[in-house]
Structure 1
Amino acid sequence: MRACLDEAAGLAPPPHEIGFTGGEPFANRDITGMIEDALARGFRVLVLTNAMAPLDHHRARLLGLRAMFPGRLTLRVSLDHYAPARHEEMRGPRSWAPAVEGLLWLARHGFVVAVAGRTASGEPEAVLRSGYARLFAGLGLELDARDPAALVLFPEMTDDDNVPEISESCWAVLHKRPEQMMCASSRMVVKRKGADRLSVVACTLLPYDPRFDLGPSLAAAARRVPLNHRHCANFCVLGGGSCSASRNDGG
């Protein structure tokens, strides 16, 4: 990963943000070392986490990183719904309390935090944001639920192939721009089990589809990505989803 970070630092312009996702990133015993490597090169870092037991094992190291790189490390905690019962329908029983405790620990210790929710309940966005606002107020969290960077609401990804194809003419109809999509400015680097090298793929949603494997280097992966996967339509273009730390802001 250090070689990949060195290549990233040499790009013109270099990325400003390195994200870590999973699964649960803190289940990787080397995660804090990788975070430090990214921070030490001047990047901002975003980690997507459930803030549960795996994170607990890294608390002391995280406190050290926060002290060394103040304000440059953001942890986005997954709370799938503002109501505990609805969250546990999606995450499993007894998952709410430890996630909230982990989120509060991060906030109390001065980390930059955000929350990721889901739209699976079918409620309008305004209702969801109001629900999370009440939750944040009750927990004493200084998070603005109206801010799409502080509260990211991810659209659902389905296995239904019956989604519209995204063509050139769609942009004017949807009042969007191609450069707003994650794959216009971001790439995902994966190391698959058993592989002898890293792979650069188009985005975090498509790590396993060989059509979106762009090769072993960031330079080779710097090309256009066709929006011909169902997730391109239902998550990014129509759903308005983005996995970076701020809306329409590639990493």
Structure 2
Amino acid sequence: MKVQSQETAHVGKFENRYITADGQPRASVALRDPQTLWFNTGTLCNIECVNCYIASSPTNDALAYLTAAEIIDYLDQIQQRGWPVREIGFTGGEPFMNPQIIDMAGAALERGYRVLILTNAMRPMMRDGMRSGLAALQRKHGSALCLRISLDHYRAELHDSIRGKGSHARTLEGMAWLRDNNITMTVAGRTIWQDSEAESRAGYARFFAAHGFNIDAHDPAQMVLFPEMDETVKVPEITTSCWDILNVAPSSVMCASARMVVKRKGAKRPTVLACTLLPYSPEFELGETLAEAEGDVYLNHPHCARFCVLGGASCSG
């Protein structure tokens, strides 16, 4: 059913929250089962990667460091709202650039949540204070703590083409330390290469075996292959009729089960976003509290189609 009006008849793609460019009602997703609450610990990173979706770098501080006190406030809100959260995720930037990351992770673990930290496992993680903190968390909480390592390709030359010369070797060093300290690891790769998914997983499996990493490359929960998010590539808008056409359930899309907290540079308080992938899109900002973040999310961005609906990907563990 087309929904045309004077105001919407000539809108372009992804311009109207409720209506697509051809006048169809835009798909939306309800927060049905909040399982994961993400915290972006800040956009500063020790490296600058090609096509980083959040433009993290050694100089990008558009998203400021969150504090442990702010994380604890949202952990309290989870309980107050009765959200059935099982997992607390920390992303960046590079989370280990934030000096309070160990305290943040510890606060979530003490509440009984699984904790997932996304990291490149390089120098910030390998500082003495971070290593001793991680080792202490592992001794107390075991496999409830998991680090997902960004390894764009198992071959050094391809990984380094994205993250800089020598980055593969430094990440491998960090992974070896995690292995030796019994800290649970998973890996995130990318699908920009010419390999099929089967070839990619087989290659990672050989790499993990060669280095003694206890990671199952054929388990999508342990070895994530993320689709690319090149905004220059045209993607269709997702209408309400697409769910049946694509045989995709709204409940399978990430914003049905997750939210992300960020703190913008200069802001007095953090805010809650609909999605981990859209930190700079104000229309996906839902409010400062989890109560405000319980509304429906309209899929009004190319990433919604490319990454979540058509790509079938999720940042959660």
Q: Assess same fold via TM > 0.5.
A: yes
Amino acid at match of 2:306: N
Q: Report the CA distance between 1:24 and its aligned residue.
A: 0.3
Choose the corresponding residue for 2:139, options 50, 53, 67: 67
Amino acid at match of 1:154: F
Structure 1: runs of 5 or more not aligned: 246-251
Matched residue SS, 1:42: coil
Describe how 1:3-152 pairs up with structure 2 within 5 A.
Answer: 3-57=73-127, 58-152=130-224
Q: Give me the CA root mean square deviation.
A: 1.1
Matched residue SS, 2:266: coil
In structure 2, the partner of 1:181 is: 253
Between the two proteins, the alignment pairs up a number of residues equal to: 245
Relative contact order, CA 8 A, sep 6+: which one is greater?
A: 2
Matched, 1:191 2:263: yes
TM-score scaled by length of structure 2? 0.75
TM-score scaled by length of structure 1? 0.95
Once residues 289 and 162 of structure 2 are traced to their aligned partners in structure 1, the CA distance between those partners, rounded to angstroms, is 36
Once residues 93 and 108 of structure 2 are traced to their aligned partners in structure 1, the CA distance between those partners, rounded to angstroms, is 20
Deviates more, 1:217-226 or 1:157-166: 157-166
Matched residue SS, 2:82: coil
Structure 2: runs of 5 or more not aligned: 1-69
Once residues 224 and 207 of structure 2 are traced to their aligned partners in structure 1, the CA distance between those partners, rounded to angstroms, is 15
Deviates more, 1:176-185 or 1:1-10: 1-10
Q: Report the CA distance between 1:122 and its aligned residue.
A: 3.5
Once residues 79 and 192 of structure 2 are traced to their aligned partners in structure 1, the CA distance between those partners, rounded to angstroms, is 37
State the 4+ residue runs in structure 1 displaced beyond 6 angstroms: none
Describe how 1:240-251 pairs up with structure 2 within 5 A.
Answer: 240-245=312-317
Once residues 108 and 177 of structure 1 are traced to their aligned partners in structure 2, the CA distance between those partners, rounded to angstroms, is 41
Once residues 200 and 124 of structure 2 are traced to their aligned partners in structure 1, the CA distance between those partners, rounded to angstroms, is 28
- Is contact 1:17–1:46 with CA below 8 Å preserved after alignment? yes
Which structure's CA Rg is the greater one?
Answer: 2
Post-superposition Cα deviations, 1:134-181, rounded to whole Å, max 9, x if no partner, equal 111111112111100110001100122621011122122222211011
Amino acid at match of 1:145: A
Q: Report the CA distance between 1:208 and its aligned residue.
A: 1.1
Once residues 132 and 161 of structure 1 are traced to their aligned partners in structure 2, the CA distance between those partners, rounded to angstroms, is 28
Give identity over the alignment, percent. Answer: 53
Q: Report the CA distance between 1:82 and its aligned residue.
A: 1.4
Post-superposition Cα deviations, 1:175-222, rounded to whole Å, max 9, x if no partner, equal 221101110010000011110011000111011101000000011101
Amino acid at match of 1:96: H
Once residues 298 and 196 of structure 2 are traced to their aligned partners in structure 1, the CA distance between those partners, rounded to angstroms, is 30
Once residues 147 and 233 of structure 1 are traced to their aligned partners in structure 2, the CA distance between those partners, rounded to angstroms, is 24
